Amino acid sequence: MKIYKVKNYDELSRKAANIIAAQITLKPDSVLGLATGSSPVGLYKNLVSMYEKGDLDFSQITTVNLDEYKGLDGTNDQSYRYFMNENLLTKVNVPMERTFVPDGTIEDAAAACAAYDEILNSVGTVDIQLLGLGHDGHLGFNEPDDHFEDGTHCVQLTETTIQANKRFFEKEEDVPRQAYTMGIGGIMRAKMLLVVASGEDKADILNKVLTAPVSPQIPGTILRFHPNVILVADEAALSKTELA
Ligand code: GLP
């Protein structure tokens, strides 16, 4: 794992955006694996401004997102489709028909997951998968479990995740209890993983991800088995590791 220690969230956002920009420049028809949450917001802003300056072209890019809340459609401002459109996809020249997010409106979980796996198979190998880290070590919405899931599946969100994500909703009851997420197998098949972690509240989990035995109870530990991982983390997030 290659670790870049940066000062703060601003620097993290620039560094991570530069890595994705390099990928797009070197391979204009890249498949980008994208993520939601607050960690990547700054890097998306940087990508948009590089695009506006004429330094990046998304016209041949395909994007696949990690996850979506079950029950929310793309017009709901809490859905991950809405988040992606707002933060990146409608602000650059990626063809919308080549941007994919699991469809939260499909009620039948098996059908929704099979449909997304079919999309993932059809777009081919993800060149670079962006990942944030949940407070319980989740990747996408792969919550702590007794095994690693391979394909897209429906998950019951943990109490920690509901608590962490309620800040985006009006009331806690509004946070969906289930989500569709790409599996750990799907994530691990990407050629490169770019993990971003910022802030003191990620310090404990980041230390565990880097040092605890690899286990589905802390899904992020699996990252250590991927041959090509870049972690960009700020001083606060690294404050409980030996890199502090
Ligand atoms: C959500 C998303 C994850 C994300 C995580 C961390 O639960 N499903 O993909 O990595 O939150 O979010 P944040 O970056 O806001 O800490």
Q: How far is the CA of 61 from the centre of ligand 1 (A)?
A: 23
Q: 202-216: per-residue pLDDT in tens?
A: 999 999 999 999 999
User: Measured between alpha carbons, how far is 189 from 17 in angstroms, rounded to an integer?
Assistant: 22
Share of the chain above pLDDT 90, in %: 95
User: Measured between alpha carbons, how far is 220 from 110 in angstroms, rounded to an integer?
Assistant: 25
Nearest to 31 by CA among 214, 172, 212, 190: 190
Q: Where are the alpha helices (DSSP H) in the chain?
A: 9-26, 41-52, 80-87, 109-123, 159-165, 184-188, 203-211
Q: 67-105: per-residue pLDDT in tens?
A: 999 999 999 999 999 999 999 999 999 999 999 999 999
> Does 39 contact ligand 1 (Cβ within 6 A)?
yes
Average pLDDT over residues 142-168: 93
Band the pLDDT of 142: cuts 50, 70, 90. very high
Nearest CA to ligand 1 atom 3: 140
Structure token digits, residue 88: 């990146």
Out of 133, 175, 198, give the residue to mutate to test ligand 1, the one with the largest number of ligand atoms within 8 Å of its CB. Answer: 133
pLDDT given at position 164: 87
> Does 42 contact ligand 1 (Cβ within 6 A)?
no
The 10 Å Cβ neighbour count of residue 55 is 12
> Does 141 contact ligand 1 (Cβ within 6 A)?
yes
Q: Share the mean pLDDT of the chain.
A: 97
pLDDT given at position 161: 86
Contact 116, 81 (CB under 8 A): no
pLDDT at 43 over 90: yes
pLDDT at 220 over 90: yes
Average pLDDT over residues 177-204: 98
Out of 138, 163, 198, give the residue to mutate to test ligand 1, the one with the largest number of ligand atoms within 8 Å of its CB. Answer: 138
Structure token digits, residue 85: 């459109």
Average pLDDT over residues 222-226: 98
pLDDT at 160 over 90: no
User: Measured between alpha carbons, how far is 28 from 141 in angstroms, rounded to an integer?
Assistant: 29
User: Measured between alpha carbons, how far is 181 from 226 in angstroms, rounded to an integer?
Assistant: 19
Q: How far is the CA of 225 from the centre of ligand 1 (A)?
A: 21
> Does 59 contact ligand 1 (Cβ within 6 A)?
no
